[in-house]
Amino acid sequence: MVEKESSVGKWQKEFFENIHLFKRSGMTEDEAKKILQKFLYLSSVTPMPPVMEVFKEPNLLESVGVYTSPEQRSREFMMEFLSPIMKQFTVEGVENLKAVKPLIGKYPVTLISNHLSHLDAPAIFHQLYNCSPEGKSIAEQLVFIAGRLAYEPDFTRLGLYMFGTLLVCSKRDMADNPSLSDLMTKINMRAFRHSQKLQSEGKIVAIFPEGTRSRDGRLMPFVETVYHYVANKVIIPISLEKTDKILPTTSLLFNQVNGKLVIGKPVLVGELSRKQMDSFPKEVEQLQFPEHGDKKQFLIDNLALLVGSNLNKHQHGTYRNLYKGDVPGKNILIKIPKEPEEKIVVIGASSMSIAVATLLANKDVLVYLYHPDQTYTEQCNTERRELKYYPLYKLPPNLVFTSDVEVLKTATLFIQGTNPWELINVYPEIQPYLNRNKAPFFNVVKGFTSTGLILDEVQNAFGLEDDRLGVIAGACYPDQIMERKISGFEIAASNATLIPRVQKLFTTGYIFPRPARIPTDVKGVQLGGALKTIYALAMGIVEGYFTQTLGGNVDNSLFHLSNRFLQR
């Protein structure tokens, strides 16, 4: 027995602990042992696909190619093996497959999905195969794009033989292996050409546009290298939830969880040939390229929205701020309003101004973020993200960066978001517009200038009237707002009648503003916000010292002190 165990690799020993899951699914202990032993056996004898030999002998690329055919024995076994594991998994949107079936073979079709786990490709195949006759037919035509590293572990290689695969090499793989970069480039070019051939034969190319597994379950930016696989194709969007809980990234132990796979409606992305468009079904939605701007980025972002629209809001990740944050339980995209309720100009490019502008875009308003640097504003608009503070987050369409001072003429609300040390670079040029347009002027940046409070300095330097001024501050920071974590603000204004209007604009499903206890105490709220920042800095220093030298928990100490103070 000891000799047998010593011959079993570390991952195999951990893997055999899955016997408990199979027994809970109704198998006897003997049946569970047999299916696990068979998995271990097939994993050990399933060979590397011939395409992997290319990395040892590059001259084999022409004869071997990059396509690996499915293997019937592996498919049949993996279907049996996955059934107990996927027992509590559900499929939604099965009715959408009926619209896909007539398109296969006539038009190029690509399936896209978010990527959470090594289990994703086998799970998609298994769930489609079992959900309906149309699903089975579609599953049998799937060819997954697979990275080189997916073939190497025994644990994952067996599952890849359930369906056809096309080998590709990621940018990271190429960077890590510079001596193979030329070969990898040839492999990628050949994979794309072969994918077109397969699609013309009725196969469906399946791809994970994130390029790798998400480690936290949230959508990552879709990589631009998928563009040619999805442009001018019919897209089947798949949204996966909780496959990472079935098979966590750090474990080989399966869990039965209530996950789901959602099949979205097919969408034609771009255009087909004129002949194909003449016969293309009118009922299938079409996503057309814009006349101006970065077409590639437009397409990639919209693919992410197709996948994200059927995910839980906590999975939206990079794309979270493209959905309305004040509509609970629904994924509703933010759109440019035909008749905006407000035209808000946020002045300055600070982390807080970006966060507040993104927050305000939840409403039916137009938000302009003004900064005099034209290169900066144009690049942010082109890429639909802010490049200095929050390059990972895509921004909503009704938020526009601009260096054109003319937008200040028609603003209905000004938000002061410039850092104190940048006031001199931003305000002199816009002073005449602020003096002529009497729209309310609210500050959201915490801190002091060299002479005092930010709002006081702006008012004194540029002659703004008292009854226009207000302040929005709170115990929150910009990252919280961008991540849509629950937080809040306090609002004060010299003219208290302005507060309900501003409060409504700032209220969403994750930000809850309220009037200050003394609604007109503009200086007090500014001081509170500024001192909060100083307090946070001081407590950070104290916590580091306290933990390092005394071994204590400063948060716990503060809680007890605060509780004692409140009891008094």
Whether residues 86 and 126 fall in one domain: yes
Whether residues 402 and 488 fall in one domain: yes
pTM for this one?
Answer: 0.81
Instruction: Look at residues 274, 296, 315 and tell me which one is the last residue of a structural domain.
Output: 315
Inform me whether the pLDDT recorded for 552 exceeds 60: no
Average pLDDT of the segment spanning 452-463: 88
* pLDDT for position 451: 80
33 domain-assigned: no
Q: pLDDT tens digits, residue range 20-33?
A: 999 998 999 999 99
Which range, 158-172, 316-330, 493-507, has the best average confidence (pLDDT)?
Answer: 493-507
Whether residues 430 and 558 fall in one domain: no
> Is the alpha carbon torsion for 422, 431, 526, 391 positive or negative?
negative
| Token pair for 145 | 């794009």
Inform me whether the pLDDT recorded for 1 exceeds 60: no
Whether residues 249 and 398 fall in one domain: no
> Considering the chain, what percentage of its residues have pLDDT values greater than 70?
91
501 domain-assigned: yes
| Token pair for 415 | 């938000």
**Residue corresponding to tokens 């930016």:** 221
Whether residues 547 and 429 fall in one domain: no
Whether residues 204 and 112 fall in one domain: yes
User: What total of structural domains would you count in the chain?
Assistant: 3
* pLDDT for position 557: 57
Instruction: Look at residues 296, 315, 334 and tell me which one is the last residue of a structural domain.
Output: 315
Average pLDDT of the segment spanning 336-355: 96
Whether residues 432 and 457 fall in one domain: yes
Least confident residue range of 212-216, 377-381, 478-482: 212-216
Q: Residue 249 belongs to a domain with what CATH number?
A: 3.40.1130.10
* pLDDT for position 154: 78
20 domain-assigned: no
11 domain-assigned: no
Whether residues 366 and 286 fall in one domain: no
Least confident residue range of 116-120, 169-173, 350-354, 442-446: 169-173
**Closest CA relative to residue 491, chosen from 505, 481, 478:** 505
Q: Which amino acid is at 177?
A: N
* pLDDT for position 452: 81
* pLDDT for position 28: 93
Q: Residue 481 belongs to a domain with what CATH number?
A: 3.40.50.720
* pLDDT for position 44: 86
Whether residues 560 and 506 fall in one domain: no
337 domain-assigned: no
Question: Which residues constitute the domain of residue 539?
Answer: 534-567
* Reported confidence tier of residue 521, pLDDT bands at 50, 70, 90: very high
| Token pair for 514 | 């309220």
CA 412/CA 110 separation, integer angstroms: 46
Inform me whether the pLDDT recorded for 43 exceeds 50: yes
Whether residues 98 and 139 fall in one domain: yes
How many other β-carbons are positioned within 10 Å of the β-carbon of residue 461? 15
Inform me whether the pLDDT recorded for 177 exceeds 80: yes
Q: What are phi and psi of 238, to 5 degrees?
A: -115, 135
Inform me whether the pLDDT recorded for 537 exceeds 80: no
Q: Give the 3-state secondary structure of 283-303.
A: CCEEECCCCCCCHHHHHHHHH
Average pLDDT of the segment spanning 242-252: 84
Q: How wide is the angle at C-alpha 431 spanned by C-alphas 430 and 433, nearest 5°?
A: 70
Phi-psi region of 26 (alpha: psi -120 to 50; beta: other; left: phi over 0): left
Inform me whether the pLDDT recorded for 145 exceeds 80: yes
Phi-psi region of 172 (alpha: psi -120 to 50; beta: other; left: phi over 0): alpha
Higher pLDDT, 239 or 564: 239
Mean pLDDT of the chain: 89
Whether residues 387 and 451 fall in one domain: yes
Inform me whether the pLDDT recorded for 293 exceeds 60: yes
Inform me whether the pLDDT recorded for 125 exceeds 60: yes
Whether residues 279 and 299 fall in one domain: yes
* pLDDT for position 7: 39
